[in-house]
Structure 1
Amino acid sequence: MTNEKLSVVTGASSGIGKELAKLCARDGYHLIIAADEPAI
């Protein structure tokens, strides 16, 4: 089993979802992001 961290973040275009995605990325998580903004 691996010790890699994975986070699934919905609503990552703005607000809490965006900030949560930033924090997870900063802390070394692999991210799966759902966002309605194509540039994300």
Structure 2
Amino acid sequence: FGVAVVITNQVVAQVDGSAIFAGPQIKPIGGNIIAHASTT
């Protein structure tokens, strides 16, 4: 068919007071967006 499909995960920045010691700066969001977009 000549069609390319790209599925990505969405992330959002988490800005807190002590960001250096808080761990990862991004967290996954939108769990249902991928589910609805990838089902056939």
Report the TM-score when normalising by structure 2: 0.26
Q: Which protein has greater RCO, CA pairs closer than 8 Å, 6+ apart?
A: 1
- Structure in which a larger fraction of residues adopt helix: 1
Q: Highest CA radius of gyration, 1 or 2?
A: 2
- Structure in which a larger fraction of residues adopt strand: 1
Report the TM-score when normalising by structure 1: 0.26
